[in-house]
Amino acid sequence: MTQTLPARDLAVDWPVALYVTLKEASVGLMAYVPDAGHSTLINLFGADKDVATNVLTTEEEGIAIAAGAWLGGMRSVVLMQSSGVGNCINMLSLPVQTRMPLLMLVTMRGEWDEFNPWQVPMGRATQAALEAIGVTVLRAETGDDLVETVAQAVTMAFDADQQIAVLIGQRLLGKKKW
C-alpha cells in the first residue's frame, strides 16, 4: 500500500519525505557515516524497528554492506558526505563490475557557504570521480527535486541494477554551524 504524505513544505520536510520514499521502496537497511546533513533521515531509520541500521567507520564499508544486503535479498541505502566518496572509489568496483544495485545519498560539502577549505577539493571532484568509476550521478538542489530524484534513483538502482549516487546540494542543507 502506498503511503502518502500530508501537504508539507518540502524545503523543510524533505528528510521525512525521503524516509517515506525509501520505505515505500522496501529499503530494509541503511548504512551511514554520521553526518548532520543526514541526521533527520538517520534518526527516522534508527527509530524504525523494521529497518537495520549500520554505523560505518569508513564509507567503503557501506559499499560492501550494501552488496551483502543485496545478496541476502535486502534493499539498502548508503548515506555519506562528498568527502567520503574519495574513500570508497576502489570499493565501488564491486557493485559496478558485478552490476549489483547500489543507492547512495551523498550530502555535498565544499560548495555553497562552505567554511572549511579542506572540503572544497573533494566537493569539486565528487561527481567526476563517481562518473569515472561508472556510477550514475543525479543531483538535487531543492527539497521537491530531491524527493523526486530519489524516487527515480530507487527505480534505476533496484529495477535496472544500476549504481546510483544522488548528490544533495549544500545550498539545500544550509551552512554548517560549529
CATH class of the region 10-173? alpha beta
- CA-closest candidate to residue 63, choices 77, 52, 74: 77
Q: pLDDT tens-digit profile of 24-78?
A: 999 999 999 998 889 999 999 999 999 999 999 999 999 999 999 999 999 999 9
Given a cut of 90, is residue 23 above it in pLDDT? Answer: yes
> What local confidence, expressed as pLDDT, does residue 120 receive?
66
Over the stretch 74-115, which tens digit does the pLDDT of each residue have?
999 999 999 999 999 999 999 999 999 999 999 887 667 766
pTM of the model: 0.89
Sequence ranges of the domains in the chain: 10-173
What are the CA-CA distances from residue 144 to residues 1, 16, 43, 95, 168 (Å)?
Answer: 22, 12, 21, 29, 12
